[in-house]
Amino acid sequence: MLALRDLRVSYGAIEVVHGISLDVAAGECVALIGANGAGKSSTLKAICGLVPVGSGSVQFEGRDITNASGHAIVRAGITMCPEGRQVFPQMSVIQNLRMGAYTRTDKDQDADLVRMMDMFPILRERQNQAAGKLSGGEQEMLAIARALMARPRICLFDEPSLGLAPKIVASVFETLAQIKAMGMTILLVEQNSMMALNLADRAYLFEAGKIVMQGPAKELKSHPDVMRAYLGH
């Protein structure tokens, strides 16, 4: 469904992603793991058109979307849930959700709104509150729900556990598991490698802008190098 071939990304003169290739099949949950600065988030941003691709290509459902504009990519069916619990702080929860459906023109938006609130009961409770007044975990839930409101065919999550308490991290991952069970295709960037590998079907390990290991999540989880470097065993 999504295919990256020999992708290179640079910020000015400094190249941070040195030619990576990866695939995500429909219905699959793929995790990109690795340390800080390994190029995971830059890869996601390049897919979404938020940073320019230096060379290589991004294909989505057979179409070349390399360096397409951010809104063209969203219209194509790729939605990103950016890191750091991004919400519109002065808008209500409902308004935030409606903004998520901005690119849609169909009439099912209200039904989807109800569905999101069934999935996240806390959002129904807080529906008229300003998003900035929610707790960190609630804001992350809102960010995820807002991303789903676009009815994407693939959803990219950038560090959904960032800066959240361990208990909240667990509930965020429960939510992601629920979304995966609905059949959503997911590409997940995560530093919390254990959580990510438990959720994902397949994973790619990034180191200094390159993919150094790939395979089924279970295999990576039991690989001695990964265990030593990233899982703390």
What residue ranges bind other proteins (CB under 8 A)? 48, 50, 69-71, 73-75, 79-82, 86-91, 95, 99-100, 102-103, 146, 150
How many Å from the N-terminal Cα to the C-terminal Cα in the chain? 34
CB of 144 or CB of 211, closer to other proteins: 144
CB of 45 or CB of 180, closer to other proteins: 45
CB of 157 or CB of 230, closer to other proteins: 157
Give the CA-trace dihedral at 48, 51, 54, 57, to 10 degrees. Answer: 0
- Least separation, in Å, of the C-beta of 80 and other proteins? 5
Q: Check residue 179 and give left, alpha or beta (phi > 0: left; psi -120 to 50: alpha).
A: alpha
Instruction: Enumerate the H helices of the chain as residue ranges.
Output: 40-48, 70-76, 93-100, 109-119, 121-125, 136-149, 166-181, 193-199, 217-222, 224-226
CB of 72 or CB of 208, closer to other proteins: 72
User: Pick from 32, 44, 29: which is nearest to 200 by CA?
Assistant: 29
CB of 90 or CB of 222, closer to other proteins: 90
Q: List Cβ neighbours of 118 (8 Å cut-off, separation of 6 or more).
A: 124
CB of 91 or CB of 231, closer to other proteins: 91
- Least separation, in Å, of the C-beta of 146 and other proteins? 8
- Least separation, in Å, of the C-beta of 232 and other proteins? 32
Tokens of 49: 């058109």
Q: Within 13 Å of residue 179, how many CA atoms lie on the same side as its CB? A: 30
- Least separation, in Å, of the C-beta of 99 and other proteins? 6
Q: d(Cα 2, Cα 37) in Å, to the nearest integer?
A: 23
Whether 200 contacts 24, CB under 8 Å = no
- Least separation, in Å, of the C-beta of 125 and other proteins? 22
CB of 101 or CB of 205, closer to other proteins: 101
- Least separation, in Å, of the C-beta of 148 and other proteins? 12
- Least separation, in Å, of the C-beta of 227 and other proteins? 34
Amino acid at the residue 120: F
